[in-house]
């Protein structure tokens, strides 16, 4: 083999290896992206079944229940427009509180209950997870819109 | 008065930095020795004023001066003294001041330990570092003044974030910053070489110890951050692939590649352009890390205020530094020329593949860290990329790199025979395969990933030892010195490499075994209840309320026994910090060489019972042990004689001249 051919082969092998690495990375990336859905989107059936995703919003005050004798908890996540019941087996983070923002990751069951395998802890008591803040904001805007359409005919009169 | 003094000292430091950035650079271009000579005293003078500023801020914290906004928001009169001092760098402003302080320490170190370097080189290096310093000083003074007054003064402070009230927090940030900022030295060396057009083996020898040192600090800093997460966050994990962790991990990966490519540049004069590019990337990633962590783009314990002005400033600075460096690179690099040729099977190609793998890994981390931020910034929805992505990318990328680690020290520079290499390594490979097949069974269960981990760890360790044996026997045969003398005669650089590689093996053992055999139980326990994990019995003996300096706590007493014999008594706490109204879990850990017993309190239940987390973590401390060995290897390598000889050589002509003068007189 001439040196020039040898170099070409080497470059080809190198490119192939890099391509394989890129393929591996992008494939892993594609299958491990976790999307976020607000309770309203989940209620509108936009969230996938059988795939992990995140939900966020407020923990509805008074909704936290502990299963007797075990470590499982149930609570309701709300964006004020729609509610999602959540079950979680494990220890809740220190900053989990009713009426505060929360983000949970898990899968939606066919019964409409969200089975969380992770409830996210954030590091500061005053901190609102941006996903949760966003969901609340959207719900508020949607509510304002629907209110406007209700009020409009009234105004015309 | 003291805070104003600090503020003033920062302004003076900025002026000195301006002089240091400009005059020596012009001097180096025009060959003006007086202007070049300004660089050293300017660097040292700048350090003096930055130290004054830092001391002023520390004093404000220690003496509870709540008329300073920074102190009022991050400290409290009840906070213990050592945390009041550590709170100096516990805030956004203070941590940036620490950044500048570290930069100045490195700069002064360069000015002191660079006697042998040509004065043009020193002038350019210190000038580049001064430019970076200007950027950060401007950032401090215009967007994040740590000395801002609060009028009227607060009666008491808002306290330090409870998560940061931890001994690790006192040391972790300075270590991490020493590493981050240390790459600015490698960066400055690279830029100076590009400007001067001098990029040869000598240049690599000068910049190598600095890079290795920075890398060692970064390794320790990251390991300490991971240790902090393990025992403070209270969920027993040691790495979460959190964007903040990734921000420090990316420069580490590229820095590791840089340390290895510098070896080729020094020994063989090869990979020069690549080395320069890596130095630029490593520092750029350090800056990017600072941006990600400090701008409030990411929300974590590290992100403080979300002032958009700050983010824009760092982003602009980042674009300026990276853009200018890459433009200079594109302009000057073609003149540098390539190094010597090498064959497909050679140490160079092994190091090249290792470099490519490390850089690809860093790129994968960068993708996973930045992509969600981009999507969010463009309003295309919120996503997150979790640990499964990073794990599924890292194992296939790092496994071949670690495998090559066993081979590379055996391979000759320039060219080697594959068959010969295979023969020299066959026993190491046999031992590794045998332990991978058998060891997991003795530990409980066999899975492919466990076997892979053990294979790699044993392979690296045994290959390292065999390489040592080969080197010693070679020396013994060629110079007929005794074996112990041969051991002593091996250069420190070699020992450093061996220790660091063994550190990787130890690290892999820790990661593999804790992943494969840990036992995690979240259980409901009333006083008197017992739970078993990993062959240990954990018994909740009782709970009591205690008072800390700035918190109330419930403390559990958990007795641990094994085969009826008492092993340890653990005292996990659930603290409630009164000023910040924030609960915090303080885990209790019994650390051992082969296992950690980890207990933390979850939440109280209605009937006096608690949810308790009981973990058995085999070999978890090897993770940090491995990281410290890697750093130790780096430090050993830096003390190599050839770097010290280099300096004595430099002094020799001077003393020679002095004797000549004396004789003439």
- Give DSSP secondary structure letters for A17-86: HHHHHHHHHHHHHHHHEEEEE-HHHHHTT-SPSSS-EEEEEEEPTT--EE-TTSSEEEEEEE-SS-EEEE
Task: Note the pLDDT of residue B647.
Answer: 53
Residues with Cβ < 8 Å from B573, sequence gap 6 or more? B546, B553, B554, B555, B556, B585, B586, B588, B601
Residues with Cβ < 8 Å from A11, sequence gap 6 or more? none
Give CA–CA dist B86/B166, Å, rounded: 9
Q: DSSP letter at B575? A: E
Q: Note every long-range contact of A96-100, with CB atoms under 8 Å and residues 24 or more positions apart, other chains counting.
A: A96/A59, A96/A121, A97/A59, A98/A59, A98/A60, A98/A61, A98/A62, A98/A63, A98/A64, A99/A58, A99/A59, A99/A61, A100/A58, A100/A59, A100/A128
* Residue B301: closest C-alpha in chain A: A123
Residues with Cβ < 8 Å from A27, sequence gap 6 or more? none
* Residue A96: closest C-alpha in chain B: B583
Give the distance from residue B125's alpha carbon to the nearest chain A alpha carbon, in angstroms.
Answer: 35
Give CA–CA dist B160/B81, Å, rounded: 12
How confident is the model over B477-506, as a mean pLDDT? 91
Matching residue, tokens 């042998």: B116
% of chain B residues with pLDDT over 90:
60
Q: Which residues of chain A have pLDDT under 50?
A: 123-126, 149-157
Give CA–CA dist B390/A28, Å, rounded: 8
End-to-end C-alpha distance for chain B, whole angstroms: 57
What is the CB-side half-sphere exposure of residue B221 using CA atoms within 13 A? 22
Give CA–CA dist A123/B246, Å, rounded: 17
Give the distance from residue B372's alpha carbon to the nearest chain A alpha carbon, in angstroms.
Answer: 9
Task: Note the pLDDT of residue B110.
Answer: 95
Crossing angle of helices B387-407 and B448-479, rounded to 10°: 30
Decide if A28 and B393 are in contact by the 8 Å CB cutoff.
yes
Give CA–CA dist B214/B200, Å, rounded: 21
Burial A44-53 (b: 16+ CB within 10 A, else e): eeebeeeebb
How confident is the model over B274-289, as a mean pLDDT? 94
Task: Note the pLDDT of residue A1.
Answer: 58
Q: 3-class SS at B512? A: helix
Decide if B522 and A33 are in contact by the 8 Å CB cutoff.
no
Give the distance from residue B37's alpha carbon to the nearest chain A alpha carbon, in angstroms.
Answer: 47
Respond yes or no on whether the N-terminal peptide bond of residue B152 is cis (omega within 30° of 0). yes
Task: Note the pLDDT of residue B607.
Answer: 80
How confident is the model over B14-23, as a mean pLDDT? 96
Task: Note the pLDDT of residue B299.
Answer: 52
Mean of all residue pLDDT scores within chain B? 88
Instruction: Evaluate if residue B303 carries a pLDDT over 80.
Output: no
Task: Note the pLDDT of residue B326.
Answer: 94
Task: Note the pLDDT of residue A152.
Answer: 42
Q: pLDDT grade, residue B295 (50/70/90)? A: low
CB-neighbour burial class of residue B333 (10 A; exposed 0-12, middle 13-18, buried 19+): middle
Chain B window 222-241: which residues touch A at a Cβ cutoff of 8 Å?
233-235
**Lowest-pLDDT choice from A63-77, B257-271, B485-499:** A63-77
Q: Which of B382, B575, B585, B608 to mutate to test the interface with A (most CBs of A within 10 A)?
A: B382
Decide if B415 contacts B342 (C-beta within 8 A): yes
Give CA–CA dist B163/B235, Å, rounded: 13
Decide if B543 contacts B557 (C-beta within 8 A): yes
**pLDDT top residue among B292 and B209:** B209
Instruction: Evaluate if residue B638 carries a pLDDT over 90.
Output: yes
How confident is the model over B257-286, as a mean pLDDT? 92
Decide if B299 and A130 are in contact by the 8 Å CB cutoff.
yes
Cα torsion through B265, B269, B273, B278, rounded to 10: 0
How confident is the model over B618-627, as a mean pLDDT? 96
Decide if A34 and B603 are in contact by the 8 Å CB cutoff.
no
Q: What tokens were used for A49?
A: 């079944």
Q: Which of A25, A91, A127 sits opposite B602 (nearest CB)?
A: A91
**Lowest-pLDDT choice from B40-44, B148-152, B214-218:** B148-152
Give CA–CA dist B625/B510, Å, rounded: 9
Q: Which of B356, B389, B580 sits opposite A32 (nearest CB)?
A: B389
Give CA–CA dist B390/B241, Å, rounded: 7
Q: pLDDT grade, residue B308 (50/70/90)? A: low
Instruction: Evaluate if residue B634 carries a pLDDT over 80.
Output: yes
How confident is the model over B326-334, as a mean pLDDT? 90
Decide if B360 and A122 are in contact by the 8 Å CB cutoff.
no
Q: How far is CA B618 from the centre of its chain?
A: 25
Chains A, B: CB pairs < 8 Å:
93
**pLDDT top residue among A57 and B636:** B636
Per-residue model confidence as pLDDT tens digits over A81-107: 899 999 998 888 887 888 888 888 999
Residue A32 forms contact with B (CB below 8 Å) = yes
Per-residue model confidence as pLDDT tens digits over B521-572: 888 899 999 999 989 999 999 999 999 888 999 999 999 999 989 999 999 9
């Amino acid at each position: 083999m001439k040196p020039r051919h040898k170099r070409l082969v080497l470059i080809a092998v190198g490119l192939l290896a890099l391509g394989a690495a890129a393929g591996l990375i992008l494939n892993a990336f594609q299958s491990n992206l976790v999307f976020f859905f607000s309770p309203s989107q989940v209620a509108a059936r936009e969230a996938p079944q059988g795939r992990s995703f995140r939900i966020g919003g407020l923990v509805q005050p008074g909704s936290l229940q502990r299963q007797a004798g075990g470590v499982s908890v149930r609570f309701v996540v709300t964006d004020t427009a729609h509610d999602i019941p959540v079950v979680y087996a494990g220890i809740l983070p220190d900053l989990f509180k009713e009426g505060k923002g929360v983000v949970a990751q898990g899968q939606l069951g066919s019964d409409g209950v969200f089975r969380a395998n992770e409830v996210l802890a954030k590091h500061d008591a005053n901190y609102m997870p941006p996903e949760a803040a966003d969901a609340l904001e959207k719900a508020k805007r949607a509510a304002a819109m629907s209110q406007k359409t209700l009020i409009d005919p009234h105004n015309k009169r | 008065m003291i805070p104003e003094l600090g503020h003033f000292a920062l302004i003076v430091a900025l002026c000195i930095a301006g002089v240091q950035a400009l005059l020596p650079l012009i001097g180096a271009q025009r060959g003006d020795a007086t202007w070049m000579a300004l660089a050293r005293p300017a660097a040292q003078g700048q350090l003096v004023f930055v130290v004054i500023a830092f001391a002023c801020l520390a004093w404000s914290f220690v003496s509870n001066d709540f008329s300073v906004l920074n102190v009022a928001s991050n400290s409290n009169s009840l906070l213990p003294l050592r945390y009041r001092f550590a709170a100096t760098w516990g805030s956004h402003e203070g941590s940036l001041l620490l950044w500048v302080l570290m930069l100045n320490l490195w700069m002064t170190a360069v000015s002191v330990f660079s006697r042998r370097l040509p004065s043009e080189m020193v002038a350019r290096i210190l000038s580049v570092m001064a430019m970076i310093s200007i950027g950060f000083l401007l950032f401090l003074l215009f967007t994040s003044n740590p000395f801002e007054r609060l009028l009227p003064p607060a009666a008491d402070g808002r306290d330090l974030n409870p998560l940061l009230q931890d001994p690790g927090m006192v040391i972790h940030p300075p270590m991490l910053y020493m590493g981050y900022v240390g790459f600015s030295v490698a960066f400055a060396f690279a830029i100076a070489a590009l400007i001067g057009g001098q990029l040869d083996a000598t240049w690599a020898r000068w910049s190598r110890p600095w890079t290795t040192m920075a890398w060692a600090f970064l390794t320790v800093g990251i390991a300490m951050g991971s240790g902090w997460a393990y025992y403070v966050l209270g969920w027993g994990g040691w790495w979460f692939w959190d964007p903040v962790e990734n921000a420090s991990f990316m420069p580490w990966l590229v820095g590791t590649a840089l340390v290895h490519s510098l070896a080729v540049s020094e020994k063989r004069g090869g990979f020069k352009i690549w080395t320069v590019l890596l130095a630029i990337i490593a520092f750029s990633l350090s800056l990017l890390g600072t941006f990600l962590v400090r701008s409030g783009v990411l929300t974590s314990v590290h992100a403080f205020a979300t002032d958009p002005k700050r983010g824009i400033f760092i982003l602009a600075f980042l674009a300026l530094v990276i853009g200018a460096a890459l433009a200079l690179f594109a302009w000057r690099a073609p003149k540098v020329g390539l190094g010597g040729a090498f064959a497909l099977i050679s140490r160079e190609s092994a190091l090249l593949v290792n470099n490519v793998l490390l850089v690809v890994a860093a790129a994968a981390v960068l993708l996973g860290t930045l992509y969600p931020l981009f999507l969010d910034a463009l309003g295309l929805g919120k996503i997150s990329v979790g640990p499964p992505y990073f794990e599924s990318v890292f194992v296939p990328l790092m496994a071949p790199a670690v495998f090559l680690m066993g081979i590379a020290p055996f391979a000759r520079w320039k060219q080697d025979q594959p068959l010969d290499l295979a023969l020299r390594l066959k026993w190491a490979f046999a031992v590794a395969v045998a332990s991978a097949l058998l060891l997991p069974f003795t530990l409980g269960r066999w899975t492919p990933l466990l076997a892979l981990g053990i294979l790699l760890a044993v392979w690296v360790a045994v290959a390292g030892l065999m390489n040592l044996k080969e080197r010693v026997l070679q020396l013994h045969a060629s110079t007929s010195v005794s074996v112990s003398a041969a051991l002593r005669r091996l250069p420190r650089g070699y020992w450093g490499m061996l220790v660091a590689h063994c550190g990787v093996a130890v690290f892999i053992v820790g990661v593999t075994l804790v992943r494969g055999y840990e036992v995690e139980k979240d259980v409901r326990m009333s006083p008197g209840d017992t739970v078993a994990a990993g062959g240990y019995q954990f018994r909740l003996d009782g709970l009591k309320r205690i008072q800390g300096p700035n918190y109330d706590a419930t403390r559990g007493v958990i007795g641990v026994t094994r085969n009826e014999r008492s092993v340890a008594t653990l005292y996990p706490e659930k603290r409630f910090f009164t000023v910040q109204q924030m609960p915090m879990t303080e885990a209790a850990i019994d650390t051992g060489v082969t296992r950690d017993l980890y207990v933390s309190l979850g939440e109280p239940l209605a009937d006096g019972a608690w949810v308790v987390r009981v973990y058995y973590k085999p070999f978890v401390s090897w993770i940090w042990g491995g990281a410290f060995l890697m750093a130790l290897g780096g430090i050993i390598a830096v003390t190599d004689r050839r770097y010290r000889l280099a300096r004595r050589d430099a002094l020799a002509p001077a003393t020679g001249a002095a004797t000549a003068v004396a004789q003439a007189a």
